[in-house]
Structure 1
């Protein structure tokens, strides 16, 4: 009886390991594909024709291998994902004309209907259904990343973390090559772009991505220390990569990215542990932190002296376009109140703001996004979207408290979760003046991060043997 039970457990463990391997390779393929083809937020990027169908196939692979245990272990994350998809779908359901006309902000459309003699027309909540359909399809890659990442074991999560560090380093190296080449050359993956953007279309998104890697480098240098040689090697590799990433973040010219880099630096003392990890090496830890701080300061000063710190130059000399973006927040809030509490439709910001955009803000360029993703969420999704964001914020702070109480254990899952919490903070702060999570590659990256955090939650499914 005991032998049979032992054999059954071994079979289950082997099946779980095989399933995790499949999920790892599928997720790895998705991340490579999305960083090569999904580095821009625009809906007219040609590579989306490749990315979305491929992501749908990989989502199918993930759903095929998904178990009740995976869903129950990460039930909050899956619940939030279901709520987000459900809310977008709700904005696409046609409603009777009498009900629809009673919603705030629909007067203009009803007057046009009357003038054109269209009569009673059933319409969805979204004022721009085509944009909301695009928003729904845009959820396919991050959903695929979420489903696949939820099936990874501890080893798989760390292998993905190392892959992401490699992708970040590749993006940084590509940015160096872009700087030395033709601004209109083949090294730029997108037609509408900036300088030194790496795998992205926008310098802010490149800088935010590089900044988010510093917490990950800190835990990479701290994890799985089988020997002091391995520990020192990991620390040296992490420092070397950090030395490459820092000046490139300044060169991008992103002030938002520079602020996020500061958050990344602050996270390092909370996440990194010295080789050996004993309590008697406090002096060595302080010495190392001082050395790292001096190296960072020296790199910043050197970059400025060489005239390559575009971000600092832009911080001193604020472009007029940046002033316009901040000036637009007031009219955008007014737009949000026009459609409150239902919102004007996910993905429809550009068209909604055109209706209420003040004449003094009109320029040759248009607002595709609010450059404040929290505000854009309120405009397009209304109160329900804001409530979902509030639920996510409460869950975030609860996980921060759990990590803080348990961080002394320093096991690998806790390290990754700690890095994930700092990375989520970086994305949340960056969203105050940008829209990083509207980029497919960063949305997939974010879903992987969230699953790292979720992995330290209470695992009732495993305890119940489901």
Structure 2
């Protein structure tokens, strides 16, 4: 349940803290119940605990208050010292984190993935596959919700969970296009792995001839890639295409080496196989018509027009901000206040 809740309600980001809190509370409750019912011999492996501890160590260390003699020497703290001097608190103990509340929020956000890691690692392999199946099912639902969002048109809030989101693009249960692209890329990996491996999904299509099975899996993978493109995330599309290439090469290598599962030879294709082939052609036609009608591909292409792109200026300001607090940094979650403090005014968006 935690994976499903995280995908559906975990994509609001900082503007939607209540949904994030819901995911964290779900992780805490489900984790407690899970470990109370878990047999003693089925505890998570030591390496899982080590990974969780190492991941949480940095934000925890950055939240420990330090004496003024130490934190005054940290780079990029002069403005903080000057501000605290105005209220007579310059000699107070302060953590390395410039924004302790944001760093604490970052630490709490690690609870759901940490619980998933610990719970999944304590399960036998035959039960771990259901986590992947959950990703496939909820991911597909997210894709369909995104299709409805795109069909509703730009400026419409229909089928959107958050007031602040990339309107007009396929974002599913997320608020940000990049987050949805990540969800769909994970869906792509899960779909190919579970459809071609030994899982409940694979058993459903086991009777289909290998060529048509590969065709069916490929069609669905192609639809997922189109959905990634419809998010409008440039980095997300690049990553998804790279992942798809790796999956294709891996599948081809498995097929050549004879590692893929074999089926009894048949003459021709079964009725079920022919239906699947025709369904695949129909899906491709629907996807093509959908993207063409909405001008989807042209809109995606426009995203790669970098004329007037301000992102490069943001990167330059970000690099400067990093240099101000190098090498200790300002703590997890401190990027926004750090950037605002050094952002060049000529590149500030005055409409937001």
TM-score by length of 1: 0.61
Match of 1:337 in 2: 323
**How is 1:58-97 mapped onto 2 (pairs within 5 angstroms)?**
58-64=30-36, 65=38, 70-72=43-45, 75=47, 77-97=48-68
2:19 is the counterpart of 1:33? no
CA–CA separation in structure 2 for the residues paired with 1:70 and 1:357: 48
Match of 2:246 among 249, 261, 267: 267
CA–CA separation in structure 2 for the residues paired with 1:331 and 1:297: 44
What's the CA shift string for 1:379-436, capped at 9, x where partnerless?
xxxxxxxxxxxxxxxxxxxxxxxxxxxxxxxxxxxxxxxxxxxxxxxxxxxxxxxxxx
CA–CA separation in structure 2 for the residues paired with 1:71 and 1:56: 16
CA–CA separation in structure 2 for the residues paired with 1:335 and 1:345: 13
Structure 1 residue 351: Cα displacement? 1.0
**How is 1:383-402 mapped onto 2 (pairs within 5 angstroms)?**
none
What's the CA shift string for 1:56-114, capped at 9, x where partnerless?
11222344438676543x61x43232022122111111111111111111111222233
Match of 2:296 in 1: 308
Match of 1:397 in 2: none
2:203 is the counterpart of 1:203? no
Flag the structure with more relative contact order, 1 or 2, with Cα contacts below 8 A and sequence separation at least 6.
1
What's the CA shift string for 1:126-182, capped at 9, x where partnerless?
111111111111111111111111112212222221221112211111111112236
CA–CA separation in structure 2 for the residues paired with 1:328 and 1:175: 29
CA–CA separation in structure 2 for the residues paired with 1:67 and 1:264: 38
Match of 1:440 in 2: none
**What RMSD in Å do the two structures reach over aligned CA positions?**
3.3
**How is 1:95-110 mapped onto 2 (pairs within 5 angstroms)?**
95-110=66-81
Q: How many residues align?
A: 320
CA–CA separation in structure 2 for the residues paired with 1:297 and 1:33: 31
**In structure 2, do the counterparts of structure 1 residues 115 and 246 end up closer, same or farther at CA, with 3 Å as the change threshold?**
closer
Whether the 8 Å CA contact 2:178–2:233 is kept in 1: the answer is yes
Structure 1 residue 260: Cα displacement? 1.8
Structure 1 residue 119: Cα displacement? 5.1
Match of 1:143 in 2: 114
CA–CA separation in structure 1 for the residues paired with 2:189 and 2:124: 21
TM-score by length of 2: 0.79
Match of 1:42 in 2: 14
Whether the 8 Å CA contact 1:66–1:151 is kept in 2: the answer is no
Structure 1 residue 365: Cα displacement? 6.3
Structure 1 residue 197: Cα displacement? 0.9
**In structure 2, do the counterparts of structure 1 residues 274 and 96 end up closer, same or farther at CA, with 3 Å as the change threshold?**
same
Structure 1 residue 230: Cα displacement? 5.5
Unaligned runs of 5+ in 2: 263-276
**How is 1:291-302 mapped onto 2 (pairs within 5 angstroms)?**
none
Match of 1:55 in 2: 27
Match of 2:143 in 1: 172
Match of 1:154 in 2: 125
CA–CA separation in structure 1 for the residues paired with 2:63 and 2:180: 33
CA–CA separation in structure 2 for the residues paired with 1:243 and 1:95: 53
